[in-house]
Structure 1
Amino acid sequence: MSKTGDIFRKDVIGWSLYDFANTIFSMNILSLYFKRWVVEDLGRDGLYYDIAYSGSMLLVGLIMPALGALSDHSHKKKLFLFLFTITCCISIGLVALIPAPLFIPVIFMFAFSNFFYEGGMVFYNSLLYSVSGGNEARLVSGFGVAFGYTGSIVGMILVLPWVTGGIFGLDIPGLAGSGKTGAFFPTAVLFFVFAMPLFLWVDEKKARIKPERIKFKRAYREVWEGIRETKKYPGVLRFLIADYFFEDAIATVILNMGIFSSLVLGFSDADLTIFLIVSTVSAMLGSFVIGNISQIVALKKLMIYIVWGWIVVLLLFIVVSNIFFIYIIGSIIGILLGGIWTVSRPLLAEMVPKDELGRFFGLYSLSGRAAAVVGPVLWGIIVFLFNPNRPLGNGLASMLNLDAPRASQMPYKLAVISLIIMMAAGLFIFRKIPSGSENRT
């Protein structure tokens, strides 16, 4: 293994560039264009998107642990990752070619692409220890997350001309903007191109498990055994449960930041764009800094600090209205977002044997993906029930003597409080996991 200072090795760059690549998909498809296209351009209910997204995440949670076990036995994590990546790219690229009136095929193709996008992360995460080990894995994890947030900014800028025909007010000769659908095909191409270095430069390390063919039934049995065997590795089950609550809150923040910023904070489109850039740049820098800090501070202690940071920031979002301070909060959110993902991967990896990384990252995926199904739905239920135009919301607004503007903001602030409760519950569970890496073999 190379020294920790030799972080700019080709295999590390290749692994990190995959994070760069897949966040191009995340930013352009999940955050910016697809749902807005469905609602604003096609005039469809956003519920179609929510159901498609949640359904694909549920499917990931059900299937990926078994595929993680399969990848451990077959020693073909790179092959699985390649197949998932190219299928995702082809699926979202095809969306641009399907006529808009064929809406059901469009929404199914979106769900299909999101399944393969999210599912590939199991294999990607488990390849971390093919390019690093020990304390260096913490730094490499942060390096990858920093690349990822760089990719979200670069991808947004590179795709913008296909949407608007220009970039930052400057027209590009010979390129006519195609609207939101113009983002789909170039996003697919950029995802695939920037993912290729991983497949070319990373050599998958062979675990001590003897390669063998494995049936799906056996794989699911191994997943169940993996859940039972968490008892052998102190703290793993607690970590997975706590991570569920953390991911629940974070996934909901990511999916609803736009609507919250618009309806509660009063952001214009320009304000929201600046806010996202500030948050993303902060996440990029923060993940790299926290990756370095994680080499001298215990991972458990660092995670606790990060979660407390989330709780404080979410509280501030409820009470702060000054736009300058909101931008500062946005930068802190970016740091915390990059930090929690930088720390969580190596923390889990230090708690389980190297030979079973695929299985336990599958369980890790199950925890996170289940949260991505439940969290957004819970947010939606709270906003629905406490809408001031409905009896429960109207009654609470009257009891609190809120004027119309504050009453309209109330359901969203209550939804944020639910996220604070999730974070606090996760922290209560997490605090009892053991420190150190005594489970590694």
Structure 2
Amino acid sequence: MSEASKSPSRPKSEPVRLAPFRERMSWALYDFANTVFSMNIATLYFAAWLVADLGRSNTTYAIANGIASAMVVVSIPIFGALSDATRRRKPWVVGFTLLACAATIIMAGIGERWLPLVGEGVIGGPGTATSMSAIALVGMLSAFVIANYAYQGAQPFYNAMLSDLAPAERRGKLSGLGAAFGYAGSITGVLLSYPFFSGSVPIIGAVSPQVLSALRSIIPFTSHAGRISTFVPTALLFLLFSIPLMLFCKDHHALRDKTKIPWRESFSGLRETLREAKRYPGVARFILTSFLYQDAMGTIIANMALYAIFAMGFKKGAEVTLFVILTVPAVLGSYLIGKLVDRFGPKRTLMWVISGWVVLLIAMIVAPSRSAFWIVGALIGLIYGGVSTAERPLLLSLVPDAEAGRFFSLMVLSARAAAIVGPFVWAITVDNLIAPLGTPAAYRAGVVTVAIGMVGALWFLRRVPDTFATGALQK
């Protein structure tokens, strides 16, 4: 073993200067773009369209989602290692983005042409099955898997671009700005796609047939309203707001020489990354911490609407309003928390954010009324973006900039595993307690499991090194 491999010291990196304003804004705007996809496809419309409109099972959706997550687990560490070898992040972001947009449009086209709509939420949809339905369903689900995989695949490379855009002491603010743009993208995506879903514009009211006809002539695959009619507009919005990153962002420290790409070594990337994590104090513990809080956050957001209905007695169909209420304060909160990261450091800020989560989850369990629940939901929205705002600069403070891609990929794998484990624990808890405790109490017990995960995250985060406090934030 060489001396270099024994030493825990970091590879030297070129000094990072603050990128031009246009480039920083273009990077942050991509957060806006991909959150349009996340909100409209992954959160609001696709699962409801598949289960309610097409009459398919929840298991069908879970299998498709699981395949996408498995593809991420298998491939992203390899791609992350390749990215680190060349110090190029942007081509991966651009490639995955174009793939996600194309697959979403294909998914909509197949659904509009060959899949009959049944059940609720359909406005003027075709009601006749065809012999192509089974094949079309497989094709549509395959397109969804590719779109979801590509959306997730872009994330670690996008996050790793941050190390090229700002020095360590300025990353918190830029990361917070990106998160704030992201939550603004959630709201914008819902509002801009709503006319295609309902045939009406918020505040203004119903859209005339002439306007709808004009929209359908401009944007294909919107022959009728309903959830599926939001898919193509979502893909086009994702693409539109990604263009500034494609045009103006650069890989400032990309290797210019024709270095041979280590393909063989890249295929053992996950094992190597796990081994390398031991060289940098606190990285393995932070990845475990991120698994716990991502598990908790993903579970509660995925089940927030169900909790509102079954534990708090909200009427069905409140999910859009609920997510908008959660998102509005997140825009402001993400930016303010970014300032806290620059002032007090990412670890201390993340400790505060997770502590806030624990308090609010307890408040959610004991909330006595719907009004109290709305207040708790708004406060959760305020700190929701704080996690991503603080975690990106925290991970960058623990690893060399030159190796950021593979460790962000590892964090994505952690989040993908959490997306499977958390909802499963929630479902087992709630389903088994409904009979003995009743539905409201069972759902509150589900929140208890989430709170326990957050407490665990807080406990493990305590032992992660605070390079900001010790003055060791040297890149």
* TM-score (normalizing by structure 1): 0.91
Shift of 1:260: 1.5
Equivalent position to 1:337, from 384, 388, 393:
384
Alignment of 1:427 with 2:474, yes or no, is no
Confirm or deny: 8 A CA contact 1:92 1:188 kept in the other structure. yes
1:38-68 Cα shifts (integer Å, max 9, x gaps):
1211111122112211331232123212211
Tell me the amino acid that sits aligned with residue 25 of structure 2: I
Please list, as runs of the form range in 1=range in 2, the aligned pairs for 1:80-159 lying within 5 A after superposition: 80-98=92-110, 99-100=114-115, 101=133, 102-159=136-193
Please list, as runs of the form range in 1=range in 2, the aligned pairs for 1:267-278 lying within 5 A after superposition: 267-269=314-316, 271-278=318-325
Determine the C-alpha separation between the residues in 1 that align with 2:277 and 2:144: 35
Confirm or deny: 8 A CA contact 1:313 1:333 kept in the other structure. yes
Please list, as runs of the form range in 1=range in 2, the aligned pairs for 1:34-433 lying within 5 A after superposition: 34-98=46-110, 99-100=114-115, 101=133, 102-168=136-202, 170-173=205-208, 174=210, 175=212, 177-206=224-253, 212-269=259-316, 271-388=318-435, 394=436, 397=437, 407-433=438-464
Determine the C-alpha separation between the residues in 1 that align with 2:429 and 2:44: 24
Residue aligned with 2:385, SS = helix
* Structure 2 residue runs without a partner (length 5+): 1-14, 116-132, 214-223
Determine the C-alpha separation between the residues in 2 that align with 1:114 and 1:201: 25
Determine the C-alpha separation between the residues in 1 that align with 2:358 and 2:67: 29
Determine the C-alpha separation between the residues in 1 that align with 2:290 and 2:76: 17
Shift of 1:420: 1.0
Shift of 1:271: 4.8
Confirm or deny: 8 A CA contact 1:352 1:439 kept in the other structure. no
Tell me the amino acid that sits aligned with residue 166 of structure 1: S
Shift of 1:77: 1.6
Residue aligned with 2:344, SS = coil
Shift of 1:225: 2.0
Shift of 1:363: 1.2
1:281-307 Cα shifts (integer Å, max 9, x gaps):
111100000001111113211111111
Shift of 1:2: 10
Who is 1:404 aligned against?
none
Against the structure 1 CA distance between its residues 107 and 200, is the aligned structure 2 distance closer, same or farther, given a 3 Å change threshold?
same
Tell me the amino acid that sits aligned with residue 97 of structure 2: T
Determine the C-alpha separation between the residues in 1 that align with 2:101 and 2:333: 29
Confirm or deny: 8 A CA contact 2:193 2:233 kept in the other structure. yes
Who is 1:14 aligned against?
26
Determine the C-alpha separation between the residues in 2 that align with 1:304 and 1:349: 17
Tell me the amino acid that sits aligned with residue 160 of structure 2: S
Residue aligned with 1:119, SS = helix
Tell me the amino acid that sits aligned with residue 414 of structure 1: A
1:83-125 Cα shifts (integer Å, max 9, x gaps):
1101111111111111213322222221221111011101100
How many residues get paired?
423
Against the structure 1 CA distance between its residues 207 and 351, is the aligned structure 2 distance closer, same or farther, given a 3 Å change threshold?
farther
Shift of 1:350: 0.9
Shift of 1:375: 1.4
